Each structure stands twice: as structure tokens, then as C-alpha cells.
Amino acid sequence: TYNFCAGPAMLPADVMLKAQKELINWNGLGTSVMEVSHRSKEFIALAEQAEADLRQLMHIPDNYKVLFMHGGGRAQFSNIVNNFLGDNGRALYLTSGQWSRAAVKEAKLLVGEEAIDELTIVNQDDGVKVVTLPKLIGDKNDYRFVHYCPNETVDGIEIFENLTSPWPVIADMSSTIMSREIDVSQFAVIYAGAQKNIGPSGLSLVIVHEDMLSLPSLAQSSVMDYRVAAANGSMFNTPPTFAWYLAAEVFKWLTALGGVKAIAQINCQKAQLLYQCIDENDFYVNTVAVSNRSKMNVTFQLNDDALNSKFLAQAQANGLVALKGHRVVGGMRASIYNAMPLSGVEALVTFMNAFAKQHSA
């Protein structure tokens, strides 16, 4: 079965098999990793290795903290506000789809409409969605940060250019992290829910420049305070240890594969194959400008909506599952994160070509 779910998404088969083998006897301890103390020397070693591997994979500079937090991606929507907007701070949010808009909603809920400025950066040009990054100019004290979402998981819109800004840039990289090389030093904070390219849901990763930790924060829960997390090695309270273990295994898997540079090449190949299939068949439509087509979440519609259920049922019968688009936008979505092998996309393309042929007049 090839699982195209947008999240929780498939994990690398090798990681799952190793985890299965280690389930009741991890590290020779005779217990599962789930059953040992997070303060044991074995778990601390796992945590240190995970951080070292991630730093190497993403070339994270030393003046950034790496935090393994609770609460998934959405928890960071509120954490960035609570951690950086104390003392009447203001922020600018760029919106390009469902998730960046959800981040705005959460921020406004916490600090009110007046503290948050919103700028839409996606336009419809002849029915095609295209992102234009604005030239951001202003006084560096205008905003504590500017927030955006480089890959809109629901809409299938990805922003590949770097944002230049007088204000620290915070990026929600939940669905693009480690899929291609990025320059971490261009960002003040990168965060990501784990359930796409990292590991199981519930865990989230925060990569934060040390300078950000001296901004005034709002009164907040200690568990969600980045300073507390940084001071305690992400172990102020009991962390989601099994998710952390799987993330560590994913980092090892990616490192063995040749790192982010190597997976980025495979990701390009997969995306190219799928978009080519969509473009070559009048039967399928993608409404995102070529320059903003997501390499992780490929959205498409069937020309004839009435065939949607049949498409999904036949795909499933062929071992191609979870292709239904997000409930808000409809249509189809194939999420092809790092763990999706090229063979999965090849199987999908073969199916899509045959389905189109079968149903074209």
C-alpha cells in the first residue's frame, strides 16, 4: 500500500520495521523505549543524538536552540505569540492559504486584532494561484516578527524564494521541513508539526535563534515557554518519548540516505512525474502556478467531479490510499513527503493515466 495521507503521513518502511523489532526490547534494556525514564542515560543519549543528527541534516548554526515540544504545529501558532509578543508587541502575518490563515486566527484570539497585521500574498491570475512575495520595508521596531507558511499543505502552494525582511522571520515548515535544503540563518524561528517529514503527530520541532529568547513574553504555561524548554533540554516535563525516538530514527534514516540534498533530488523527481501526468491529461487540473507548485502536496481536480468517488475507490483497490483532497478545498491531494518512494508515485501515475484513458470520451 502506498499511503498519500497529508498527515499523519507514512513513515519510512525501514524505520517502521526497526521500531517493530525494538518494540519490547530497546537498547538491550528488555523494555520498550516507551517504558524508560526520559532522564535515563539511554534516553538522554537518544535525545542528544537526535539533536546532533538534525543539526547536521539542516546545517543549524550553533546560535540556534533546537526544541522538541508538545502540541503539534498548531501549538506553535499560540506559542510564538505568547513567547514573543509580550509588552504590546505587534506582528505581521503573510497569508497564502489555509494554514497561514489559521495562524492569524490564533494570534488574533490571543492578542487582539490590533496587534496583528495581515497581508495576503497569493493572487488568482486567470484562475491560477500565484504567490508574490512583498518587498518588506519599515522600521525594525514596527513588528517583533513576520510569519509565513512556506508550504500550504491544504492548498498545495509552496514558496521557494527566501523572504527578505527587516523583522525576524518565523516560518511554519510543518509540511516542507527537510524536504529541500534551506538556509536556517535566514529564519529567526522555524517550527514544524512532526507528522509529515519527522515522525508521529503530537510532537513538534522548534528551531529558534537565541536572540529571540530575550524578547518579552506574555504570561504563559511553563510547558510551552521556549525559554523553559531551552533551559531544560526540552524536558521540563515528561516529553512524548516514543515520538521523539521515532523522529531520531527518521533522522538516522535520512542521514544514511545522503541527507536533505539527496532526498531533495528524489522529491523533485517525484513531483515532476506527478505534475507531468496532470498536465498531459486534460482529464486532471491543477490550479497553482508552476513556480508555486508544492513538491510535497500535489493537489488536483478531476474535470468531472462526478467521478471523484470512483477514482478514490479504484485507487484504493490498487493500493493507493488517502488521495481525497482536504474537506475545505475538495478534489484530490497526493502528499508525497520524504518517506514516499519514487515507486509510489510511479504507481499513482500509472493508475491516473489508465483511469483518465478509461473515462475520456
Q: Could you give phi then psi for residue 278, rounded to 5 degrees?
A: -65, -45
The side-by-side arrangement of strands in the sheet containing 116-120 is 64-70, 203-209, 189-193, 169-172, 145-148, 91-95, 116-120
To the query of whether residue 172 is one of the catalytic residues in this protein, the response is: yes
212 and 85 in contact (C-beta within 8 Å)? no
Listed residue (5, 350, 29) closest to 200, CA to CA? 5
Whether residue 225 is annotated as binding a ligand: the answer is no
Rule CB under 6 A: choose which of 73, 89, 199, 233 binds ligand PLP.
73
Q: Tell whether 253 is in a known binding site.
A: no
**Residue 240 near ligand PLP by CB under 6 A:** no
Our finding on whether 72 is near ligand PLP (CB under 6 A) is: yes
Catalytic site includes residue 196: yes
**Rg (alpha carbons) of the chain, rounded to whole number:** 21
Catalytic residue among 129, 172, 270, 295: 172
Residue that the C-alpha cell 494554514 belongs to = 99
Residue 175 near ligand PLP by CB under 6 A: yes
**Residue environment code for 339-353, b if the CB has 16+ CB neighbours within 10 A, otherwise e:** bbbeebbebbbebbe
Which is the catalytic residue, given 65, 196, 252, 324?
196
Footprint (CB under 6 A) of ligand PLP, residues 154-173: 172
170, burial (CB in 10 Å: exposed 0-12, middle 13-18, buried 19+):
buried
Residues 298-357 that bind ligand PLP (CB under 6 A): none
Residue 21 bears catalytic tag: no
Identified catalytic residue from 26, 53, 65, 99 = 99
Q: Which residue is nearest to ligand PLP (CB)?
A: 72
What residues act catalytically? Answer: 99, 172, 196
- Enumerate binding residues for ligand PLP (CB under 6 A): 7, 72-74, 99, 149, 153, 172, 174-175, 193, 201
Residues annotated within a binding site: 39, 73-74, 99, 153, 172, 195, 237-238
